[in-house]
Protein backbone atom coordinates (compact mmCIF):
# COMPACT_ATOMS: atom_id res chain seq x y z
CA UNK A 1 0.00 0.00 0.00
CA UNK A 2 2.92 2.34 0.76
CA UNK A 3 4.24 2.46 -2.82
CA UNK A 4 0.75 3.27 -4.09
CA UNK A 5 0.48 6.22 -1.71
CA UNK A 6 4.00 7.33 -2.61
CA UNK A 7 3.29 7.15 -6.34
CA UNK A 8 0.01 9.04 -5.92
CA UNK A 9 1.66 11.75 -3.83
CA UNK A 10 4.61 12.04 -6.22
CA UNK A 11 2.32 12.18 -9.26
CA UNK A 12 0.04 14.82 -7.74
CA UNK A 13 3.04 16.88 -6.61
CA UNK A 14 4.63 16.71 -10.06
CA UNK A 15 1.41 17.78 -11.77
CA UNK A 16 0.90 20.69 -9.35
CA UNK A 17 4.57 21.69 -9.70
CA UNK A 18 4.32 21.84 -13.49
CA UNK A 19 1.07 23.79 -13.28
CA UNK A 20 2.47 26.26 -10.73
CA UNK A 21 5.66 26.77 -12.72
CA UNK A 22 3.67 27.49 -15.86
CA UNK A 23 1.28 29.80 -14.02
CA UNK A 24 4.12 31.54 -12.16
CA UNK A 25 6.06 32.12 -15.37
CA UNK A 26 2.97 33.55 -17.02
CA UNK A 27 2.31 35.84 -14.03
CA UNK A 28 5.89 37.11 -14.04
CA UNK A 29 5.81 37.79 -17.77
CA UNK A 30 2.48 39.61 -17.55
CA UNK A 31 3.62 41.61 -14.51
CA UNK A 32 6.89 42.52 -16.19
CA UNK A 33 5.12 43.62 -19.36
CA UNK A 34 2.53 45.64 -17.47
CA UNK A 35 5.13 47.48 -15.35
CA UNK A 36 7.28 48.15 -18.42
CA UNK A 37 4.28 49.60 -20.25
CA UNK A 38 3.51 51.71 -17.20
CA UNK A 39 7.08 53.03 -17.14
CA UNK A 40 6.84 53.81 -20.85
CA UNK A 41 3.58 55.69 -20.29
CA UNK A 42 5.17 57.81 -17.52
CA UNK A 43 8.13 58.55 -19.79
CA UNK A 44 5.78 59.57 -22.61
CA UNK A 45 3.87 61.95 -20.32
CA UNK A 46 7.12 63.61 -19.24
CA UNK A 47 8.35 63.86 -22.86
CA UNK A 48 5.10 65.39 -24.10
CA UNK A 49 5.08 67.96 -21.31
CA UNK A 50 8.51 69.16 -22.42
CA UNK A 51 7.59 68.94 -26.12
CA UNK A 52 4.48 71.05 -25.47
CA UNK A 53 6.68 73.79 -23.97
CA UNK A 54 8.90 73.72 -27.08
CA UNK A 55 5.88 73.90 -29.39
CA UNK A 56 4.62 77.00 -27.58
CA UNK A 57 7.93 78.81 -28.16
CA UNK A 58 9.61 78.43 -24.77
CA UNK A 59 13.34 78.90 -25.08
CA UNK A 60 15.40 75.80 -24.51
CA UNK A 61 17.26 77.39 -21.66
CA UNK A 62 14.00 78.18 -19.90
CA UNK A 63 12.32 74.77 -20.25
CA UNK A 64 10.79 73.39 -17.08
CA UNK A 65 12.42 69.93 -17.02
CA UNK A 66 11.48 67.21 -14.52
CA UNK A 67 13.84 65.96 -11.85
CA UNK A 68 16.69 64.09 -13.49
CA UNK A 69 16.59 61.09 -11.14
CA UNK A 70 12.88 60.45 -11.67
CA UNK A 71 12.69 61.34 -15.36
CA UNK A 72 16.00 62.14 -17.07
CA UNK A 73 15.27 64.33 -20.12
CA UNK A 74 17.44 65.44 -23.04
CA UNK A 75 16.38 67.60 -26.00
CA UNK A 76 18.23 67.00 -29.25
CA UNK A 77 18.22 68.68 -32.64
CA UNK A 78 18.34 66.85 -35.98
CA UNK A 79 22.13 66.63 -35.78
CA UNK A 80 22.08 65.05 -32.32
CA UNK A 81 23.29 68.14 -30.51
CA UNK A 82 21.99 68.55 -27.00
CA UNK A 83 19.72 71.57 -26.80
CA UNK A 84 18.63 71.01 -23.22
CA UNK A 85 19.07 68.41 -20.50
CA UNK A 86 17.69 67.80 -17.08
CA UNK A 87 19.61 68.71 -13.97
CA UNK A 88 22.31 66.23 -13.00
CA UNK A 89 21.91 64.26 -16.28
CA UNK A 90 25.47 63.48 -17.37
CA UNK A 91 25.05 60.77 -20.02
CA UNK A 92 22.34 58.84 -21.89
CA UNK A 93 23.06 55.40 -23.37
CA UNK A 94 26.73 55.93 -22.57
CA UNK A 95 26.95 59.20 -24.53
CA UNK A 96 27.97 62.17 -22.44
CA UNK A 97 25.71 65.17 -22.38
CA UNK A 98 28.03 68.11 -23.27
CA UNK A 99 27.73 71.71 -22.14
CA UNK A 100 24.35 73.09 -23.00
CA UNK A 101 24.11 76.63 -24.30
CA UNK A 102 21.34 77.89 -22.13
CA UNK A 103 19.12 80.20 -24.06
CA UNK A 104 20.68 79.30 -27.39
CA UNK A 105 18.43 79.14 -30.37
CA UNK A 106 18.85 76.43 -33.00
CA UNK A 107 18.83 77.27 -36.70
CA UNK A 108 15.42 78.34 -37.84
CA UNK A 109 13.56 75.92 -40.01
CA UNK A 110 11.27 76.60 -42.93
CA UNK A 111 8.29 78.71 -41.95
CA UNK A 112 6.18 78.12 -45.05
CA UNK A 113 4.06 75.62 -43.16
CA UNK A 114 5.09 72.67 -45.31
CA UNK A 115 6.04 69.40 -43.60
CA UNK A 116 7.87 67.42 -46.23
CA UNK A 117 9.26 64.80 -43.86
CA UNK A 118 5.88 63.95 -42.38
CA UNK A 119 6.80 65.40 -38.96
CA UNK A 120 4.83 67.91 -36.90
CA UNK A 121 3.97 71.37 -38.19
CA UNK A 122 5.49 74.46 -36.53
CA UNK A 123 4.07 74.90 -33.07
CA UNK A 124 2.86 71.28 -32.85
CA UNK A 125 3.88 68.02 -31.15
CA UNK A 126 4.07 64.81 -33.16
CA UNK A 127 1.45 62.19 -32.27
CA UNK A 128 3.90 59.31 -32.71
CA UNK A 129 6.08 58.14 -29.87
CA UNK A 130 9.00 55.72 -29.92
CA UNK A 131 10.06 53.54 -26.99
CA UNK A 132 13.32 51.86 -26.14
CA UNK A 133 15.25 50.74 -23.10
CA UNK A 134 18.47 52.43 -22.23
CA UNK A 135 20.71 53.77 -19.47
CA UNK A 136 21.22 57.19 -18.00
CA UNK A 137 23.92 58.63 -15.73
CA UNK A 138 22.27 60.92 -13.22
CA UNK A 139 24.64 62.58 -10.78
CA UNK A 140 27.14 59.75 -11.18
CA UNK A 141 24.60 56.93 -10.78
CA UNK A 142 23.97 54.79 -13.86
CA UNK A 143 20.57 53.05 -14.00
CA UNK A 144 18.24 51.46 -16.54
CA UNK A 145 15.34 53.48 -17.88
CA UNK A 146 12.44 53.14 -20.29
CA UNK A 147 12.79 56.05 -22.76
CA UNK A 148 10.05 57.67 -24.81
CA UNK A 149 11.01 59.91 -27.77
CA UNK A 150 8.63 62.62 -29.04
CA UNK A 151 9.26 65.16 -31.82
CA UNK A 152 8.09 68.80 -31.68
CA UNK A 153 8.57 72.02 -33.70
CA UNK A 154 8.78 75.39 -32.14
CA UNK A 155 6.98 78.40 -33.56
CA UNK A 156 9.96 79.08 -35.81
CA UNK A 157 9.76 75.64 -37.42
CA UNK A 158 12.90 74.25 -35.75
CA UNK A 159 12.46 70.55 -34.95
CA UNK A 160 13.63 69.02 -31.69
CA UNK A 161 13.43 65.51 -30.26
CA UNK A 162 12.59 65.11 -26.60
CA UNK A 163 13.79 61.92 -24.88
CA UNK A 164 12.41 61.33 -21.44
CA UNK A 165 13.05 58.27 -19.30
CA UNK A 166 11.28 56.46 -16.51
CA UNK A 167 13.28 54.21 -14.17
CA UNK A 168 12.93 50.42 -14.55
CA UNK A 169 14.14 49.72 -11.02
CA UNK A 170 10.62 49.63 -9.50
CA UNK A 171 9.51 47.17 -12.18
CA UNK A 172 12.49 44.92 -11.56
CA UNK A 173 12.09 45.16 -7.81
CA UNK A 174 8.41 44.17 -8.08
CA UNK A 175 9.20 41.26 -10.39
CA UNK A 176 12.04 40.18 -8.12
CA UNK A 177 9.79 40.34 -5.05
CA UNK A 178 7.13 38.22 -6.73
CA UNK A 179 9.76 35.77 -7.97
CA UNK A 180 11.25 35.43 -4.49
CA UNK A 181 7.79 34.88 -3.00
CA UNK A 182 7.13 32.17 -5.57
CA UNK A 183 10.47 30.47 -4.93
CA UNK A 184 9.71 30.40 -1.21
CA UNK A 185 6.03 29.55 -1.48
CA UNK A 186 6.25 26.93 -4.23
CA UNK A 187 8.20 24.32 -2.21
CA UNK A 188 5.92 24.89 0.79
CA UNK A 189 2.83 24.50 -1.37
CA UNK A 190 4.23 21.34 -2.94
CA UNK A 191 4.90 19.91 0.52
CA UNK A 192 1.30 20.64 1.47
CA UNK A 193 0.03 19.00 -1.74
CA UNK A 194 2.21 15.93 -1.17
CA UNK A 195 1.10 15.62 2.46
CA UNK A 196 -2.60 16.07 1.69
CA UNK A 197 -2.39 13.59 -1.20
CA UNK A 198 -0.63 11.07 1.03
CA UNK A 199 -3.30 11.37 3.73
CA UNK A 200 -6.23 11.32 1.31
CA UNK A 201 -4.79 8.34 -0.57
CA UNK A 202 -4.18 6.47 2.68
CA UNK A 203 -7.75 7.05 3.77
CA UNK A 204 -9.10 6.09 0.34
CA UNK A 205 -7.04 2.88 0.26
CA UNK A 206 -7.88 1.85 3.81
CA UNK A 207 -10.89 -0.24 2.62
CA UNK A 208 -8.62 -1.93 0.08
CA UNK A 209 -6.28 -2.92 2.89
CA UNK A 210 -9.29 -4.33 4.75
CA UNK A 211 -10.27 -6.34 1.68
CA UNK A 212 -6.71 -7.61 1.27
CA UNK A 213 -6.43 -8.60 4.93
CA UNK A 214 -9.74 -10.47 4.84
CA UNK A 215 -8.78 -12.26 1.63
CA UNK A 216 -5.49 -13.31 3.24
CA UNK A 217 -7.42 -14.61 6.26
CA UNK A 218 -9.83 -16.52 3.99
CA UNK A 219 -6.91 -18.04 2.10
CA UNK A 220 -5.24 -19.09 5.35
CA UNK A 221 -8.41 -20.53 6.87
CA UNK A 222 -9.94 -21.93 3.63
CA UNK A 223 -13.29 -20.75 5.02
CA UNK A 224 -15.12 -19.63 1.89
CA UNK A 225 -18.20 -18.61 3.86
CA UNK A 226 -16.43 -15.45 5.04
CA UNK A 227 -16.88 -12.20 3.14
CA UNK A 228 -14.78 -9.06 2.76
CA UNK A 229 -16.05 -5.81 4.34
CA UNK A 230 -18.05 -3.58 2.00
CA UNK A 231 -17.49 0.17 2.55
CA UNK A 232 -20.52 2.41 2.82
CA UNK A 233 -19.41 4.61 -0.08
CA UNK A 234 -20.82 3.50 -3.43
CA UNK A 235 -17.60 4.05 -5.35
CA UNK A 236 -15.07 1.93 -7.22
CA UNK A 237 -13.76 0.35 -4.00
CA UNK A 238 -17.31 -0.49 -2.92
CA UNK A 239 -17.93 -2.15 -6.28
CA UNK A 240 -14.64 -4.03 -5.90
CA UNK A 241 -15.73 -5.34 -2.48
CA UNK A 242 -19.14 -6.40 -3.78
CA UNK A 243 -17.61 -8.10 -6.81
CA UNK A 244 -15.11 -9.87 -4.55
CA UNK A 245 -17.95 -11.14 -2.35
CA UNK A 246 -19.84 -12.32 -5.41
CA UNK A 247 -16.72 -14.17 -6.55
CA UNK A 248 -16.32 -15.72 -3.12
CA UNK A 249 -19.98 -16.78 -3.15
CA UNK A 250 -19.60 -18.37 -6.58
CA UNK A 251 -16.38 -20.07 -5.47
CA UNK A 252 -18.05 -21.34 -2.30
CA UNK A 253 -20.93 -22.73 -4.34
CA UNK A 254 -18.55 -24.36 -6.80
CA UNK A 255 -16.43 -25.92 -4.05
CA UNK A 256 -19.51 -27.13 -2.19
CA UNK A 257 -20.87 -28.55 -5.42
CA UNK A 258 -17.56 -30.25 -6.06
CA UNK A 259 -17.49 -31.73 -2.56
CA UNK A 260 -21.04 -32.97 -2.90
CA UNK A 261 -20.23 -34.36 -6.33
CA UNK A 262 -17.23 -36.29 -5.00
CA UNK A 263 -19.24 -37.61 -2.05
CA UNK A 264 -22.16 -38.66 -4.25
CA UNK A 265 -19.87 -40.19 -6.84
CA UNK A 266 -18.08 -42.19 -4.13
CA UNK A 267 -21.41 -43.37 -2.79
CA UNK A 268 -22.70 -44.34 -6.23
CA UNK A 269 -19.51 -46.18 -7.11
CA UNK A 270 -19.41 -48.04 -3.83
CA UNK A 271 -22.61 -50.01 -4.48
CA UNK A 272 -21.81 -51.60 -7.87
CA UNK A 273 -18.20 -52.22 -6.85
CA UNK A 274 -19.29 -53.91 -3.61
CA UNK A 275 -21.92 -55.98 -5.45
CA UNK A 276 -19.47 -57.00 -8.15
CA UNK A 277 -16.83 -57.93 -5.57
CA UNK A 278 -19.35 -60.00 -3.60
CA UNK A 279 -20.40 -61.91 -6.69
CA UNK A 280 -16.82 -62.54 -7.71
CA UNK A 281 -15.88 -63.74 -4.23
CA UNK A 282 -18.87 -66.09 -4.23
CA UNK A 283 -17.88 -67.29 -7.68
CA UNK A 284 -14.35 -68.03 -6.51
CA UNK A 285 -15.60 -70.02 -3.51
CA UNK A 286 -18.60 -71.62 -5.24
CA UNK A 287 -18.33 -71.40 -9.01
CA UNK A 288 -21.74 -72.97 -9.45
CA UNK A 289 -23.34 -70.01 -7.59
CA UNK A 290 -21.71 -67.27 -9.71
CA UNK A 291 -24.36 -64.86 -11.05
CA UNK A 292 -22.73 -64.01 -14.36
CA UNK A 293 -25.65 -61.91 -15.71
CA UNK A 294 -25.72 -59.92 -12.44
CA UNK A 295 -21.97 -59.36 -12.59
CA UNK A 296 -22.24 -58.19 -16.19
CA UNK A 297 -25.11 -55.84 -15.27
CA UNK A 298 -23.11 -54.36 -12.39
CA UNK A 299 -20.10 -53.98 -14.68
CA UNK A 300 -22.20 -52.21 -17.32
CA UNK A 301 -23.72 -49.91 -14.71
CA UNK A 302 -20.25 -49.15 -13.37
CA UNK A 303 -19.06 -48.44 -16.90
CA UNK A 304 -21.96 -46.07 -17.57
CA UNK A 305 -21.39 -44.25 -14.30
CA UNK A 306 -17.67 -43.86 -15.03
CA UNK A 307 -18.51 -42.50 -18.50
CA UNK A 308 -20.98 -40.02 -16.99
CA UNK A 309 -18.45 -38.84 -14.41
CA UNK A 310 -15.81 -38.43 -17.10
CA UNK A 311 -18.15 -36.36 -19.26
CA UNK A 312 -19.14 -34.16 -16.31
CA UNK A 313 -15.46 -33.63 -15.48
CA UNK A 314 -14.79 -32.51 -19.07
CA UNK A 315 -17.78 -30.17 -18.99
CA UNK A 316 -16.71 -28.68 -15.66
CA UNK A 317 -13.23 -28.15 -17.10
CA UNK A 318 -14.75 -25.90 -19.75
CA UNK A 319 -14.62 -28.20 -22.75
CA UNK A 320 -16.17 -26.32 -25.66
CA UNK A 321 -18.44 -28.09 -28.15
CA UNK A 322 -17.43 -28.32 -31.77
CA UNK A 323 -18.81 -26.26 -34.65
CA UNK A 324 -19.98 -29.13 -36.83
CA UNK A 325 -23.43 -29.02 -38.44
CA UNK A 326 -25.84 -31.43 -36.75
CA UNK A 327 -29.19 -32.33 -38.34
CA UNK A 328 -31.53 -32.93 -35.40
CA UNK A 329 -34.05 -34.87 -37.51
CA UNK A 330 -31.36 -37.28 -38.69
CA UNK A 331 -30.06 -37.54 -35.11
CA UNK A 332 -33.56 -38.51 -33.87
CA UNK A 333 -34.05 -41.12 -36.60
CA UNK A 334 -30.63 -42.65 -35.89
CA UNK A 335 -31.11 -42.75 -32.09
CA UNK A 336 -34.67 -44.16 -32.24
CA UNK A 337 -33.68 -46.87 -34.73
CA UNK A 338 -31.05 -48.17 -32.31
CA UNK A 339 -33.42 -48.48 -29.34
CA UNK A 340 -34.97 -51.79 -30.32
CA UNK A 341 -34.77 -53.23 -26.82
CA UNK A 342 -36.67 -50.45 -25.04
CA UNK A 343 -39.56 -51.34 -22.78
CA UNK A 344 -41.81 -48.97 -24.75
CA UNK A 345 -41.21 -48.30 -28.46
CA UNK A 346 -40.31 -44.68 -29.27
CA UNK A 347 -42.86 -42.94 -31.48
CA UNK A 348 -41.30 -40.37 -33.82
CA UNK A 349 -43.50 -37.38 -34.55
CA UNK A 350 -42.96 -34.48 -36.96
CA UNK A 351 -39.28 -33.90 -37.74
CA UNK A 352 -38.51 -30.44 -39.12
CA UNK A 353 -35.32 -30.13 -41.12
CA UNK A 354 -33.22 -27.95 -38.82
CA UNK A 355 -29.47 -27.83 -38.27
CA UNK A 356 -27.55 -26.67 -35.22
CA UNK A 357 -23.85 -26.20 -34.50
CA UNK A 358 -22.11 -28.36 -31.95
CA UNK A 359 -20.91 -31.80 -31.04
CA UNK A 360 -22.93 -34.62 -32.58
CA UNK A 361 -21.77 -37.02 -29.90
CA UNK A 362 -22.79 -34.75 -26.99
CA UNK A 363 -26.16 -33.87 -28.54
CA UNK A 364 -26.78 -37.57 -29.16
CA UNK A 365 -26.00 -38.16 -25.49
CA UNK A 366 -28.61 -35.52 -24.53
CA UNK A 367 -31.27 -37.19 -26.69
CA UNK A 368 -30.38 -40.62 -25.31
CA UNK A 369 -30.60 -39.39 -21.69
CA UNK A 370 -34.00 -37.77 -22.33
CA UNK A 371 -35.33 -40.96 -23.90
CA UNK A 372 -33.93 -43.05 -21.02
CA UNK A 373 -35.67 -40.78 -18.53
CA UNK A 374 -38.96 -41.03 -20.48
CA UNK A 375 -38.65 -44.84 -20.59
CA UNK A 376 -38.34 -45.01 -16.80
CA UNK A 377 -41.52 -42.97 -16.19
CA UNK A 378 -43.74 -43.76 -19.19
CA UNK A 379 -46.83 -45.93 -18.86
CA UNK A 380 -47.39 -46.83 -22.50
CA UNK A 381 -45.99 -44.12 -24.80
CA UNK A 382 -42.76 -42.22 -25.46
CA UNK A 383 -42.75 -39.57 -28.19
CA UNK A 384 -40.05 -37.41 -29.78
CA UNK A 385 -40.43 -34.55 -32.29
CA UNK A 386 -38.37 -31.73 -33.81
CA UNK A 387 -39.76 -28.29 -34.71
CA UNK A 388 -38.57 -24.83 -35.58
CA UNK A 389 -39.52 -21.75 -33.51
CA UNK A 390 -38.10 -18.58 -35.02
CA UNK A 391 -34.32 -18.74 -34.74
CA UNK A 392 -34.45 -21.80 -32.50
CA UNK A 393 -34.52 -25.53 -33.11
CA UNK A 394 -36.81 -27.27 -30.60
CA UNK A 395 -36.56 -30.96 -29.69
CA UNK A 396 -39.34 -32.31 -27.48
CA UNK A 397 -39.42 -35.68 -25.64
CA UNK A 398 -42.54 -36.56 -23.67
CA UNK A 399 -44.22 -39.60 -22.15
CA UNK A 400 -47.58 -40.48 -20.63
CA UNK A 401 -46.17 -40.90 -17.14
CA UNK A 402 -47.24 -38.95 -14.03
CA UNK A 403 -45.00 -36.00 -14.91
CA UNK A 404 -42.67 -33.91 -12.77
CA UNK A 405 -44.23 -31.93 -9.91
CA UNK A 406 -43.97 -28.20 -10.51
CA UNK A 407 -41.88 -27.63 -7.42
CA UNK A 408 -39.31 -30.21 -8.54
CA UNK A 409 -38.83 -29.10 -12.17
CA UNK A 410 -35.50 -27.43 -11.48
CA UNK A 411 -34.24 -29.78 -8.82
CA UNK A 412 -34.27 -32.78 -11.15
CA UNK A 413 -31.44 -31.19 -13.16
CA UNK A 414 -29.12 -31.27 -10.16
CA UNK A 415 -26.53 -34.03 -10.02
CA UNK A 416 -27.36 -37.29 -8.25
CA UNK A 417 -30.97 -36.22 -7.68
CA UNK A 418 -33.72 -38.82 -8.01
CA UNK A 419 -37.26 -37.98 -7.05
CA UNK A 420 -38.11 -41.59 -6.11
CA UNK A 421 -35.43 -42.62 -3.62
CA UNK A 422 -37.15 -45.99 -3.02
CA UNK A 423 -36.77 -46.93 -6.68
CA UNK A 424 -34.26 -49.67 -7.39
CA UNK A 425 -30.94 -48.28 -8.55
CA UNK A 426 -30.91 -50.51 -11.60
CA UNK A 427 -34.12 -48.90 -12.76
CA UNK A 428 -33.59 -45.40 -11.48
CA UNK A 429 -30.03 -44.73 -12.57
CA UNK A 430 -27.51 -42.56 -10.71
CA UNK A 431 -29.29 -39.25 -11.22
CA UNK A 432 -26.72 -37.82 -13.66
CA UNK A 433 -28.54 -38.08 -17.00
CA UNK A 434 -30.62 -34.89 -16.79
CA UNK A 435 -27.75 -32.95 -15.20
CA UNK A 436 -25.49 -33.91 -18.11
CA UNK A 437 -28.23 -33.07 -20.63
CA UNK A 438 -28.71 -29.56 -19.25
CA UNK A 439 -24.95 -28.86 -19.02
CA UNK A 440 -24.51 -29.88 -22.66
CA UNK A 441 -27.51 -27.78 -23.73
CA UNK A 442 -26.18 -24.67 -21.96
CA UNK A 443 -22.71 -25.10 -23.43
CA UNK A 444 -24.30 -25.26 -26.88
CA UNK A 445 -25.96 -21.90 -26.26
CA UNK A 446 -29.38 -23.39 -25.59
CA UNK A 447 -31.60 -24.51 -22.73
CA UNK A 448 -33.36 -27.58 -21.36
CA UNK A 449 -36.53 -27.33 -19.30
CA UNK A 450 -39.65 -29.26 -18.31
CA UNK A 451 -42.92 -28.13 -19.92
CA UNK A 452 -46.37 -29.31 -18.90
CA UNK A 453 -45.26 -31.98 -16.45
CA UNK A 454 -43.71 -34.66 -18.62
CA UNK A 455 -42.54 -32.73 -21.72
CA UNK A 456 -38.79 -32.09 -21.84
CA UNK A 457 -37.96 -29.31 -24.31
CA UNK A 458 -34.45 -28.75 -25.68
CA UNK A 459 -33.87 -25.41 -27.44
CA UNK A 460 -30.75 -24.78 -29.52
CA UNK A 461 -29.86 -21.83 -31.78
CA UNK A 462 -30.08 -22.60 -35.49
CA UNK A 463 -26.88 -22.85 -37.47
CA UNK A 464 -26.57 -19.67 -39.53
Q: What is the CA radius of gyration of the chain?
A: 52
What pLDDT does residue 327 have? 93
DSSP line for 341-363: T-SSPEEEEEE---EEEE-HHHH
Fold category of 320-461 in CATH: Heat Shock Protein 90 (3.30.565)
Question: Residue 268 to residues 44, 316, 426: CA-CA distances in angstroms?
Answer: 109, 19, 12
Each residue's pLDDT, cut to its tens digit, for the chain (464 residues) gives: 457 778 888 888 899 999 999 999 999 999 999 999 999 999 999 999 999 999 998 888 888 888 767 889 999 988 888 889 888 888 888 888 866 544 445 545 554 444 555 567 888 899 999 999 999 988 888 999 999 999 998 888 889 999 999 999 999 899 999 999 998 988 999 999 888 988 888 888 888 888 888 888 888 888 888 888 888 777 788 888 888 889 888 888 888 877 877 777 777 777 778 888 888 888 888 787 777 787 787 787 788 788 888 887 777 777 777 788 999 999 999 999 898 888 899 999 999 989 999 999 899 999 999 999 999 889 999 999 999 999 999 999 999 988 888 888 888 888 877 765 434 434 556 678 898 899 999 999 999 999 887 899 999 999 87
Long-range interactions of 366-370: CB distance < 8 A, separation 24+: 366/436, 366/437, 366/440, 366/441, 366/448, 366/458, 367/331, 367/332, 367/335, 367/395, 367/397, 368/335, 369/433, 369/434, 369/436, 369/437, 370/397, 370/433, 370/434, 370/437, 370/456, 370/458
Please provide the CATH number assigned to the domain covering 224-319: 1.10.287.130
Rounded to whole angstroms, how far apart are CA atoms 116 and 390?
Answer: 98
What pLDDT does residue 279 have? 81
Q: Is 263 left (phi over 0), alpha (psi -120 to 50) or beta?
A: alpha
Give bridge partners of residue 355 from the DSSP assignment.
327
Rounded to whole angstroms, how far apart are CA atoms 389 and 358?
Answer: 19
What does pTM read for this prediction? 0.51
Contact (CB, 8 A) for 397 and 434 = no
What pLDDT does residue 99 have? 61
The answer to whether the 224-319 and 320-461 domains have the same CATH topology is: no
Q: Where are the domains of the chain?
A: 2-174, 224-319, 320-461
DSSP line for 293-324: HHHHHHHHHHHHHHHHHHHHHHHHTTPPP--E
Rounded to 5°, the CA angle 38-146-172 comes to 70
Max Cα-Cα span within the chain: 159
Amino acid sequence: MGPVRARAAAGATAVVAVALLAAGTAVLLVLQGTLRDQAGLQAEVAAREVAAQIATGTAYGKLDLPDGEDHPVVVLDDDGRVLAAGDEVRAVDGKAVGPVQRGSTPPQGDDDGDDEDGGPRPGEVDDDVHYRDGTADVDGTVADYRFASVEAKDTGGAKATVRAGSPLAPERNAVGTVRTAMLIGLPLLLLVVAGVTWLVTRRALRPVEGIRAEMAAITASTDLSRRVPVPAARDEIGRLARTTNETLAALETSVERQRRFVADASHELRSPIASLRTQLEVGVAHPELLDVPGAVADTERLQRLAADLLLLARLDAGERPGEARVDLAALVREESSQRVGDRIPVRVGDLAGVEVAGSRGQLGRVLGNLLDNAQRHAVSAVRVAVARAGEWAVLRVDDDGPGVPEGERERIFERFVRLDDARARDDGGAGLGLAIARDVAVRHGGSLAVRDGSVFELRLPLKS
